[in-house]
């Protein structure tokens, strides 16, 4: 296969090695890139992960929120967010549940 720039896989590998030497991507990586382009991919940027985001309402976070609220019932969501390091949405979920 030839790239938009007119280079073959081997020519692309040679140019990458000339430009980046030991830091150049491996031969197999370049072949994988070409295969991705043949399948219609247009970029080498990482794609957004699929599925649900990682949960931040762990038992550790729940315990931290509980402790802070028990110490000061007037603590704000913003204060909890800063102190615990999770989003206000996660704080609200913990408080609601």
Each residue of 21-68: pLDDT tens digit? 999 999 999 998 888 888 888 877 777 766 666 667 788 999 999 999
* The token pair that represents 55 in the structure block: 């949960």
For the chain, first and last CA: distance in Å?
A: 56
| Contact assessment for residue 90 and residue 56, using Cβ atoms and an 8 Å cutoff | yes
**Is 84:65 a contact under the CB 8 Å cutoff?**
yes
Segment (H or E) for 65: helix 59-71
Q: How far apart are CA 9 and CA 77, in angstroms?
A: 54
| pLDDT tens string 64-73 | 999 999 999 9
* Annotated domain spans of the chain: 1-46, 59-96
89 or 43, higher pLDDT: 89
What global pTM score does this model have? Answer: 0.45
């Amino acid at each position: 296969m030839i790239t938009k720039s007119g280079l073959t896989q081997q020519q692309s590998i040679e140019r990458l090695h000339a430009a980046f030497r030991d830091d150049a991507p491996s031969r197999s990586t370049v072949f994988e890139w070409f295969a991705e382009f043949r399948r219609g991919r247009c970029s080498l940027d990482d794609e957004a992960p699929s599925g649900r985001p990682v949960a931040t309402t762990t038992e550790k976070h729940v315990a931290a929120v509980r402790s802070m609220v028990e110490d000061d019932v007037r603590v704000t969501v913003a204060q909890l967010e800063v102190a615990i390091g999770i989003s206000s949405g996660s704080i609200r979920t913990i408080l609601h549940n």
